[in-house]
Each structure stands twice: as C-alpha cells, then as structure tokens.
Chain A
Amino acid sequence: MNRRLAALVTAGAAAALVLAGCSSDDGSSDDTVTLDFSQWWEVELSEGVMRGLMDRFEEEHPGVEVNLISNPYSATVDLQTSAAATGTLADIVAINGASVYDLQDQGAIADLSALMDDAGFDPAQLVSNDQIDGVTYMVRALNFAYPMYYNTDLLEAAGVTELPTTWEEFDAAAAAVTDPSSNVYAWSLPINVQSPAGFDSQSWLWASGNRMLEDRQPNFETPEIAEWLEFLKAQYDAGYVTPGAFTQQEQQKVEEFTAGRNAFLIGSLAHVAGIREANPDLNFSIGSVPSVSGEPSGIAGASWGLGIAENSEHKEEAWQLIEWLVSEDINSELAGEATGFPGNASSVPGFVEGDELYELAFEVYQSSEFVTELEGLPLALDLNRNLNENLVRLLQGEATVPETQASLQEYWNGVLSGE
C-alpha cells in the first residue's frame, strides 16, 4: 500500500507542477494588443498554413499579436453561443452563414459596416456583402462551391457514356449504375438531424433555378417544390440511394464515394484533394448538378466568414486582420490552400490553372448563380434540421408530398414570419 501511495503522491505532485506551469502564461508586454482568433480553419488547412499567415500579419502590423484558437467544427455554433452569453467570445470569430443571424440577434457580433467606414474600406471589393437590416455582420473570406462529382469508371462500366444533365437522364444513369449485389449505389443522401451539413437534397432544386424561399419567406407550396420532392422520393424508392441515409453524415458520404461505391456525389470542391490523396486510383470528374430542363442555373455553396465580437476591446485591430485576410493577394493565397473561391472580387484562385478538375469546377461556378438560401436566416440550423426531418418522413412513407409541403411551410413560417 505504501508503494502505491508513494506512486499516487508522485502523480499528484507532477499534476500540480503541470498546473502551476499553465497559470503563468499571461506575461505579455503592455503595449502589444493580442487578438484572439477562434476558428476551425487551422485543422482544415495543411499544418502550419494558418499560423504562417498570422506570423506574416504580425510582421506587417507591429504591436499586434494573433492568438489562434482552434475549435472542432461541429461544436462551433454551440461554443460561440455559450461564449457570447458569458462575454468570452474571441475578438475575431470564424462563422458561417448558418449562424450569423442568431449571433447578431444575441448581440454577440459587432456592426462591421461601421468598422469598414472608420477604416475607409469599400465593401465593393468583396464578391458579396451580406447584410441583415442594412448592416454587415460577416465578411466572407472564402466561398465553397458544391458541384457534382462523377465516378467515371462506374459510369463507363454501366454503359453511361454521357454525363446526365437533366433529372430524367440522371434517373436513367442511376438505374444503370445501381447494383446492390456489388454494393454500388448511384448516390448518397445524408439527411441526418445531428449535424445537418451539405446540400445533397437542395442542390437539385437550386440547380433547376427554383428556391424554397421568396423574399426571405417560405414558399414551399409550389408545383416546382412538389416536383423536386417527388424526384427525391422516386430516387429513394427505386433504391438508388445508399442505405443508412437518415443518419448518414457528410464525411461518411464522402467516404462512400472515395471507396468507389457511389457513382455521384454532391460535395464541396474542397474534397478534391482529399479524395485524390485517399484513393489515387479513383477516376472521377466534376460537373453541374442535373436540373429539370438541363440548363444549370444555380450551384449550392457554403462559406468561411469572419465576424468581430461585440465584447472585443480591440475592434479596430480585429478589423485590420479581417481586411488583411480579404485583401487581394492574401485572399487568393488562402483560397488556394483551402480550394475555395476568394471573397475578394479581384482575387484569382491560383489552384484553378493547370488542373483539369479545378478548371471544370471553376467553369461550373462561373456559369451558375451561387446559392446560399439558408445563410443569414434566423435559426438556419434548426430550419435545416426541420427540412431533413420532413424529408425522412416523406421518404419513409409517413407523409405524402403535399403533406410535406404543408408541414415545411407551416414550420418555416413560424420561424421566419416574426423576423
């Protein structure tokens, strides 16, 4: 017992030493402003990229230091809500369009329009300037387009020689490709409720030029929406969709495609590098999501946005960092690292040139409208959950198409009408 006790005491003493070491980190010099920058990007990019950028910013802006805080992507919104409630939100916060409305509603993020004015920044330099009631709260550093990926080997083996451009053609291709006995399905439709991400259902609607909303109000009871829901249901009922859709997650969907078990994938352009690295033998290409008419008109997208905490004591310096990140050269560099499209209107993403796939994707991106229907809406995440829940009910056969439309209309109306 004594030996064990000694071991315990030693462990305890070691613990105390470690702890003592931690609490004495505060001694930075008085004149330096330290900006906390909370984001999930550092782990998405190659190791050291984000820190390298910050080091360069610090060099160009003496007296300002940046402290990078990495948080897991899935916990971003919850953490920011809690941090804002306790006044500990980092000076600069990476946000996306799904949470920007709620954070400003909570009074957590600062009016960027005013900061832009003070700094003499012209928002026309940006690709888009999203506003809520005439005020900018988030600047998009990068946009991520969600084109359609094709497994060319699977299509070839199934005798599909031309890429489908209409829903009808897609249906035929899906039928040809799907072969449950060899475990191949046309596509995956992750509609889980724990972490709704991706645009696997909405892309079809948007590609056809139709929308769920009109003037930020739900508009679900239209023939176009009915046609869209019927298309999804027909795909599911015919067995073209990989099993497990109701709880499948974004990352699992990508693994199905990478493993060569899905012929199609609607996913962020950021996946290209990952798929190539994970399965170098996979032959795949990129194109538009098929539409009703065959004329693609909209492509789904997500963003990496930046905001400034209302409780920040260094808003001016924080804005300097944001301005620097969306400046022409730095922004195209960031875009290149993340394979996203720049938020700065004059930046050119360097990765596009010389790579056939990226060139294709850039073509798709430029020929279609960039659709981010859910971004900037109140409770965007909750609305997305509700959409998925209604889709599950429809696909499970517990609701008809008109019932689904009515149910969506009612719930979304409840959330959006009070706006």
Chain B
Amino acid sequence: MSPTLLVMLVMMAVPVVMVFTYSTLSNVIMEREPEFVGLANYATLLSDPIFRKALGQTAIFTVTSVVFHLLLGLAFALMLNSTLLPRLASSLFRVVYILPWVFTASIVVILWQLMLNPNGVINYMLETLNLISTKVEWFSNPDLALGTVIFINVWAGYPFFMVSLLAGLQGIPKDLYEAAEIDGAGWRDRFFNITIPQLFPIIIAMAMLDFIWNLQQFPIIFLATGGGPLNATETIATYTYNLAFSKREFAMASASGVVLFLISAIVALFYVRHQKARD
C-alpha cells in the first residue's frame, strides 16, 4: 500500500506546486525559456474588470448553488426518509431522485439546451399554459443566463447532498425522537433540536466541499454558455479556461487558478478550525 500512497502523494502535490511556480513566470508552455516575473501576473489579473466581474459572479453562482443543493437535498432526504411512506414507493422515488447524478456534464447540458431551446419543450409548455407570450431565450438573454446556468447546476448537484443526508439521517438514534415526542415536542422542535444538530457535522463538511467544487464548476457553465453572452455567466473557471486555451496565457491562467485556490483555502481554514474546536 505504501508505494501507492507515495505515488498518490506525488500526484496530488507536484502539479499543485507546478501551478504555483507557473503563476510567477512569464508565459510558460508557449515560451521556451520563461522568466521569473514575481507577482506581475497577479497584478495584471486583478486590474482586469472582467476578472473582477467573474469573481463576483463566481460568488453568486457558488453560494446560490450550495444553498439550493443543501435545501433541496435536505428536503428530499427528509421526505424519502419518512416512515409514512410505503417501502416500495420510497425505493422507487429514491431511484428517480438520484437520476440527475448519473449523467455526465456534457449530456446534462445538451439535455437542458434541448429543453430550454427557444423552440424547446419548456417554452412550449409555458406557452400552452399562457405563462409566456414570446419565446424566452433562457441562455441568450444576458439577464437570464446566469440564473439558467445556476438552475442546471442545482439540478445536477443536489443528489450528492440528498444521498449523504439520507445516510446521515439513519445515524440519528430513534429514541431521541421518541423521548422528544413524550415531552410533547412538535415536528418543528424535533427538526431544529434533534435532526439539524445531529446532521450538523455532515452538513458542514458537505457544504464546505460543495463550496470548493462549485467554485471550480467548469463543464456545465462552459458547455452551456461559454461564459457569455456579454460575460454574463463568466466565472473564474471559464475565465481561466479562456486564458489558457483561447489566449494561450498559461502563466496567467495559473495565477487565476491560484486565486481560486486561495479563496478555497480560506474556507478550508474555517472548516479545520471548526473541527478543532469540536475535538
């Protein structure tokens, strides 16, 4: 096992170190002998208004996604866990509810592009129900694009929370609820005084991980809109991709990646502190 562990460590650490190094050099990969430029790449990056816009939109995208992942995941987990539900129904619903999870990002996007196309089935249904009068451009309207992309990301990502919380709910001792019921506690009390506190260690770990992952969410945004229209869905991840593979500024792209890393590191630090306080 230990040689494998060593390989794993190398594979984890070396690329990260290389990205840090790249971010302090002049254009790596394209130049034969890149020079050390210190923090110049970071200065250029931070002075770009589009980068700053992307930073703001990344925050909106990430926070909204995590909140809805958690809310939907928790709501669905509680419903699926209900004792009022026959076992067969519960089993079938569970399978339906994890569906968004089993598709690769490109299919998720293609599917929603088909359905949200101006001529797609969603507009058709909304038209039939007289909810809209003109064809809504879900992706092409700069005012709607970010919301649409977040919606798709929420759809694709909540099963992770749901499955984990469903598992967490099993770990809550039933006698806690029984005791509460004897004390005359309503469902609200039981939810806030037992369920939430019991799930808290799992929720906090998942929220942090989901935050870090969504900060970097790339395939869904890029395949759906490429960051457009008019940078309306530009996030650090799409911005970084364009730097690397469209503008071929690999050093700048590394710097942009490191910025994202630093944001994640701050979040991680809070988590670790919280864990420590718990010990």
Question: Could you tell me which A residues sit within 8 Å of B by CB distance?
Answer: 77-78, 81, 85, 102, 105-107, 180, 183, 192-195, 242-248, 252, 256, 261, 379, 381-382, 385, 388-389, 392-393, 396, 398
Contacts and interface: CB of A to CB of B under 8 A. Distances in A.
Interface of B: 29-30, 32, 113, 117-119, 134-135, 137, 139-140, 142, 145, 222-230, 242, 245-248
Contacts of B228: 192-194, 246-247, 388-389, 392
A333 B67 CA distance: 57
A247 B246 contact: no
A193 B229 CA distance: 8
Given A180-B135, A246-B137, 9 more contacts: A192-B225, A194-B224, A244-B139, A246-B139, A246-B142, A247-B226, A385-B242, A389-B228, A396-B229
A379 B137 CA distance: 30
Contacts of A261: 119
Given A247-B140, A385-B246, A389-B230, A85 B29 contact: yes
Contacts of B119: 183, 256, 261
B246 A381 contact: yes
Nearest to A242: B118
A180 B123 CA distance: 14
DSSP class of B's interface residues: helix, strand, loop or mixed?
loop
Contacts of B230: 389, 392-393, 396, 398
Contacts of A102: 248
Contacts of B139: 244, 246-247
B54 to A, nearest CB: 13
The 5 A-B residue pairs with the shortest CB-CB distance, nearest first, are: A194-B226, A246-B229, A246-B140, A247-B139, A243-B118
A247 B248 contact: no
B127 to A, nearest CB: 11
A79 to B, nearest CB: 10
B137 A244 contact: yes
27 contacts: A78-B245, A81-B29, A81-B245, A81-B248, A102-B248, A106-B29, A107-B32, A180-B134, A193-B225, A193-B228, A194-B223, A194-B226, A194-B227, A194-B228, A242-B118, A243-B118, A244-B139, A245-B140, A247-B225, A247-B229, A252-B117, A379-B248, A382-B242, A388-B228, A389-B228, A392-B229, A396-B142
A382 B246 contact: yes
B245 A193 contact: no
Nearest to A392: B229
A106 B226 contact: no
Given A77-B245, A102-B248, A107-B32, A248 B140 contact: yes
Contacts of B248: 81, 102, 106, 379, 382
Residue of B137, B139, B242, B245 with most chain A CB atoms under a 10 A cut-off: B245
Contacts of A194: 222-228
B217 to A, nearest CB: 15
A418 to B, nearest CB: 12
Contacts of A382: 242, 246-248
Given A193-B228, A243-B140, A106 B118 contact: no
Contacts of B29: 81, 85, 106
A242 B228 CA distance: 18
B261 to A, nearest CB: 20
A256 B135 CA distance: 15
Contacts of A78: 245
Nearest to B246: A382
Contacts of A252: 113, 117
A193 B227 contact: yes
